[in-house]
Amino acid sequence: MLLPFRTAAAALAFVLAATFAATPVRAQSEPVVVFAAASLKNALDEIAKSWTGKSRTEVKSSYAASSALAKQIEAGAPADIFISADLDWMDYVEKKNLLKPGTRGNLLGNSIVLVANKDWNKGDVKITKGFDLAKLLGDARLSMANVDSVPAGKYGKAALEWLGAWNGVSGKLAQAENVRAALALVGRNEAPLGIVYKTDAAADNNVKIVGIFPSDSHKPIIYPAALLKDSKNARAAEFLGYLSGPEAKAIFEKHGFDVIATAMRKAS
């Protein structure tokens, strides 16, 4: 049976009103896309899950070397937040005018360690100036993230140079695309030793820490975070702020990070 004109018009108006009213809700529920250094995966996944439970907004995180992520952002990859494992790659993105002004802040600190496979039986290594890492390796290779571009690899190379051990091991490297890949080589016993972040070592039961690099052997390890200029997601600033809140702080610290942020700045 055909509806009277006024009834049909009213029904149509109701449908249109409901459609337009729902549009902002859908826009607000769009996932917050985070490009983050590979070493953050375990902690950030847990934090994202916690925030999603409260905000009902999903977080989609893409993990890789900070260098690779910075290049992807430069090439136009869509993301809302960038968290780098060093200042250099955040500086790179900022100099390209790709950050939202006033949102950059330093979030975390970390340290680098020497790890071995869990079956390593040669004991701990005292890492001081002049220690003979090449002798310890023998004919085997040292697993590291790429020493020319990946932050963990750059920190590791700087430390080895400061300690006087670089020349002895520079020809014995197994370089990986990111620090988690370097960790995996040691976990699979494809390399007896590797240099990774302290937090990475805690994330893999197949490796153990056998030495700690002196903090003055390299630049401070700092993780900056910022909103990206082209982000249109209104919830991204909220998640950035959540990263320096008490709940995120507890999770970061549980995973071994040093939380150095008091409050991340929101977009102005």
How high is the pLDDT of residue 26?
Answer: 40
Q: What percent of the chain has pLDDT over 70?
A: 87
Beta-bridge partners for 142 = 173, 193
Residue 159 has pLDDT above 80, yes or no: yes
Residue 132 has pLDDT above 70, yes or no: yes
Task: Give the lowest-confidence range in 9-18, 45-54, 131-140, 150-159.
Answer: 9-18
Q: Where residue 119 falls among pLDDT bands split at 50, 70, 90? A: very high
Residue 12 has pLDDT above 50, yes or no: no
pLDDT in tens, 246-265: 999 999 999 999 999 754 54
Mean pLDDT, all residues of the chain: 89
Residue 105 has pLDDT above 90, yes or no: yes
How high is the pLDDT of residue 261?
Answer: 77
pLDDT in tens, 193-245: 999 999 999 999 999 999 999 999 999 999 999 999 999 999 999 999 999 99
Enumerate domains of the chain plus CATH numbers. 31-109+221-259 (3.40.190.10), 112-212 (3.40.190.10)
Buried b (16+ CB within 10 A) or exposed e, 161-190: eebebbebbeebbbbbbbbbbbbbbbbeee
- List C-alpha distances in Å: 240 to 106, 160, 187, 261, 265: 12, 34, 32, 11, 8
Pairing of strands 81-83, 32-37: parallel
pLDDT in tens, 106-116: 999 999 999 99
Are the C-beta atoms of residues 233 and 78 closer than 8 Å to each other? no
- List C-alpha distances in Å: 43 to 15, 194, 196, 258: 43, 21, 16, 12
pLDDT in tens, 65-95: 999 999 999 999 999 999 999 999 999 999 9
Residue 136 has pLDDT above 90, yes or no: yes
How high is the pLDDT of residue 262?
Answer: 55
Predicted TM-score (pTM) of the model is 0.85
Are the C-beta atoms of residues 128 and 259 closer than 8 Å to each other? no
